[in-house]
Structure 1
Amino acid sequence: MKRLIYLSKARPSLHGDALYDLLAAARDHNRRAAITGLLIQQDQFCLQVIEGDEAAVRGSFARIRRDWRHENCHVIFHDDVPGRLFPGWPLAYRAGRDLERGQVRQLADIVECATRLADKPADSDRWAMDVYLRALLDSFSALTVQ
């Protein structure tokens, strides 16, 4: 089982109907590919977790990376994991207005850390990114399929 997490900057047109169309298409694709995950959109930033077998995750991310609705797409985590964090969710979605205050702060920390890692990677930043991601993902552990 692979988990890939990426961060990107959404284009201003990614809202309203365009966002709902994207979510519907992504959920349909993910069901067929046995992918689960989470998409968070806060201000102009998107963070997405993709889980599944390696080929499905790789193929999905390649398609996502080419999507014109966002830019500066870069991977902040990609590794083998023992299981899914979002079983039953072809793509859970949370907008900034739906996030708790702590989740907003965690996402801001992730964005800041990703910027430092892109500029000049340091072991302390890699460790910090791991801590920030774990905290954010743990905060979504109560998500249940309805």
Structure 2
Amino acid sequence: MLIRLAYTSTFKPHITEADIGELTEKAADFNKRNHITGILAVEGERVCQILEGPKEAVEKLFESIQRDQRHFGVVELDVAPIDKPRFEAWGMVRRPMVDIVTLAFSL
């Protein structure tokens, strides 16, 4: 069973643009190995991410995200079963916040 999970959070003030770039690269590698795809948007300290993939893998990743000390206020926005991933070409890609909002409303 495949799911799509969307959440928001807030990075702690000490997180730099370089930290976000490194996080995105590591996430892309991890996600590809675990058949997870997704999109990440960061605007200032605010984060919005959509994850897709096998239910158990996405849920396990989200539990890890909730424990990650680099951010706080993790709020699950939506979780739903899907027939196929929308972002299957991306292990993890970063896009502007407006793009993720546009994609979310077109799902």
Counterparts of 2:12 and 2:22, CA distance in 1: 15
- Structure 2 residue aligned with 1:99: none
Q: 1:55 is paired with a residue of what secondary structure?
A: helix
Structure with the larger strand share: 2
Structure with the larger helix share: 1
TM-score by length of 1: 0.65
Q: Please say if 1:7 is aligned against 2:8.
A: yes
Question: Deviation digits for residues 80-114 of structure 1, max 9, x if unmatched?
Answer: 01221111100010245xxxxxx28xx7xxxxxxx
TM-score by length of 2: 0.87
Look at both structures and tell me which one has the larger radius of gyration over its CA atoms: 1
Name the aligned partner's letter for residue 21 of structure 1. Answer: E
Provide the identity percentage: 27
- Structure 1 residue aligned with 2:55: 54
Q: Which moved more, 1:31-40 or 1:20-29?
A: 20-29
CA-based RMSD of the aligned residues comes to: 2.2
Counterparts of 2:7 and 2:49, CA distance in 1: 6
Q: 1:85 is paired with a residue of what secondary structure?
A: coil
Q: Please say if 1:38 is aligned against 2:39.
A: yes
Alpha carbons 2:31, 2:91 under 8 Å: kept: yes
Number of aligned residue pairs: 106
Name the aligned partner's letter for residue 28 of structure 1. Answer: D
CA 1:95 to 1:80, structure 2 compared with 1: closer, same or farther past 3 Å? same
Name the aligned partner's letter for residue 39 of structure 2. Answer: L
CA 1:55 to 1:85, structure 2 compared with 1: closer, same or farther past 3 Å? same
Q: Which runs of 5+ in 2 are unaligned?
A: none
- Structure 2 residue aligned with 1:91: 92
